[in-house]
């Protein structure tokens, strides 16, 4: 090979090597700019938030969503140190605390999160953070002259055969029973739960929207369900079943007689213990409590924001201000097992 050919070959080899290195580096950089989200909530409900996050970062961070309806803790444990999960998201404080107790989360220190989220809505060690509130409200037949209600009233015999609820073992309801135990003690909570069961118009089953459906159908007059479904139903297209159900009810925020506050659960998240993209995971959590994201929670998902002074959808705003039960949500979660056992003891779902 002559000197000219040798120099040409050398330049070609260097360029080829540099191109290969650049491609590899680009692949690594691309792989690093992503987040793997494991979530127990329907992806469609949070996709607008995730899309907005990606847009806020000029498309440089993609969120890969894995929907896990049941067994989130078991899956992450089974994956171990090789788990690709970065963020773990749930729609119940109990499930969130189970992840912490199961050892699959890690603490996060973030001034942005701590400045926005009230102390009683986040873990003191930074293991979990609430992102939105889901208050448990009373659905009422629209023409019924009722404006105030306590959770205790649900067991009043005057409502016999007039109450609709989903399964007592659903996390939304076991959380409420747990709150009643925390407020009144197990014996009084059992008496209350037996009273509620005696008032059921049908077997405790179905979902929250089914409560509105059955009120419209004349099966019952009242029932408990999450407030955000009111927004979804009343803002649904005219003529759809959802809109008919929503138009057939009004919603009242019940309170605990002890505190004058309304029971809430949360949607929340934690950073996975072995998160391969921890920095990006924290960025996502911080974005989800930003003003734009909290506005989406309030106006697209109809959930109550954890951030103060965020404008709500008019339908939800009409419910009035939310005064949250002062009992710390983590304290309520401690009674979940008792609550579940109590539901079985009184045969609530039978």
Residue 135: its pLDDT value, please? 96
**Which segments within 218-332 are labelled E, that is strand?**
222-226, 249-252, 264-272, 304-305
Rounded to whole angstroms, the Cα distance separating 321 from 344 reads 35
With CA atoms as reference, report the closest residue to 279 among 69, 110, 164, 148.
110
Cβ 66 vs Cβ 36: under 8 Å = yes
Task: Give rounded-to-5 percent helix, strand, coil for the chain.
Answer: 50, 15, 35
Residue 258: its pLDDT value, please? 79
pLDDT over threshold 70, residue 89: yes
Rounded to whole angstroms, the Cα distance separating 63 from 222 reads 40
Q: What are 54-88's pLDDT values in tens digits?
A: 999 988 999 999 999 999 999 999 999 999 999 99
pLDDT over threshold 70, residue 49: yes
Rounded to whole angstroms, the Cα distance separating 270 from 234 reads 32
Residue 4: its pLDDT value, please? 39
Residue 45: its pLDDT value, please? 84
Phi and psi for 311 in degrees, rounded to 5? -65, 140
Question: Given 3.40.50.970, 3.40.190.10, 3.40.50.300, 3.40.920.10, which CATH number is that of 34-133+266-313?
Answer: 3.40.190.10
Q: What are 237-256's pLDDT values in tens digits?
A: 999 999 999 999 999 999 99
Rounded to whole angstroms, the Cα distance separating 181 from 173 reads 12
Q: What are 288-338's pLDDT values in tens digits?
A: 999 999 999 999 899 999 999 999 999 999 999 999 998 888 899 999 999
Residue 348: its pLDDT value, please? 98
Check the CA dihedral 210-216-221-224 and report its sign: positive
Residue 250: its pLDDT value, please? 97
DSSP state string for 137-152: EEEEETTS-----BGG
Burial of residue 70 (number of CB atoms within 10 Å: 0-12, 13-18, 19+): exposed
Residue 9: its pLDDT value, please? 37
The answer on whether 172 is annotated among ligand-binding residues is: no
The answer on whether 302 is annotated among ligand-binding residues is: no
Averaged pLDDT, 259-280: 96
All CATH 3.40.190.10 domain ranges in the chain, comma separated: 34-133+266-313, 135-263+323-345
Rounded to whole angstroms, the Cα distance separating 289 from 293 reads 6
pTM score: 0.84
Give the total residue count for the chain. 350
pLDDT over threshold 70, residue 18: no
Question: Given 3.90.1150.10, 3.40.190.10, 3.30.420.40, 3.20.20.70, which CATH number is that of 135-263+323-345?
Answer: 3.40.190.10
pLDDT over threshold 70, residue 131: yes
């Amino acid at each position: 090979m002559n000197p000219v050919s040798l120099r040409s070959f050398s330049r070609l080899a260097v360029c080829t090597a540099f191109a290969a290195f650049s491609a590899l580096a680009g692949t690594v950089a691309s792989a690093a700019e992503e987040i793997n989200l494991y979530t127990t909530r329907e992806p469609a409900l949070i996709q607008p938030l995730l899309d907005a996050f990606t847009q806020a970062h000029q498309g440089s961070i993609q969120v890969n969503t894995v929907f896990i309806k049941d067994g989130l803790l078991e899956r992450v444990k089974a994956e171990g140190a090789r788990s690709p999960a970065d963020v773990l998201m749930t729609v119940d404080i109990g499930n969130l605390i189970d992840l912490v107790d199961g050892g699959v989360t890690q603490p996060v220190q973030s001034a942005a999160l701590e400045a926005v989220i009230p102390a009683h809505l986040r873990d003191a060690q930074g293991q979990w953070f609430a992102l939105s509130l889901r208050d448990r409200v009373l659905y009422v037949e629209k023409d019924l002259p009722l404006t105030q209600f306590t959770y205790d009233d649900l067991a009043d015999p005057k409502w016999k055969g007039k109450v609709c609820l989903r399964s007592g073992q659903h996390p939304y309801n076991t959380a409420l029973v747990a709150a009643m135990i925390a407020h009144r003690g197990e014996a009084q909570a059992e008496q209350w739960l037996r009273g509620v069961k005696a008032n059921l118009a049908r077997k405790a089953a179905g979902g929250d929207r089914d409560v509105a459906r059955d009120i419209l159908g004349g099966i019952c007059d009242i029932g408990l369900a999450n407030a955000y479904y009111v927004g979804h139903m009343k803002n649904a297209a005219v003529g759809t079943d959802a809109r008919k159900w929503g138009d057939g009810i009004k919603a009242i925020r019940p309170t605990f007689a002890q505190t004058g506050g309304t029971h809430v659960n949360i949607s929340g998240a934690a950073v996975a213990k072995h998160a391969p993209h921890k920095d990006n995971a924290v960025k996502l959590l911080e974005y989800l409590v930003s003003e734009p994201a909290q506005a989406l929670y309030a106006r697209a998902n109809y959930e109550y924001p954890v951030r103060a002074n965020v404008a709500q959808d008019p339908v939800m705003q009409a419910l009035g201000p939310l005064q949250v039960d002062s009992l710390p949500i983590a304290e309520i979660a401690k009674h979940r097992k008792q609550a579940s056992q109590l539901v079985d003891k009184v045969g609530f779902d039978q």
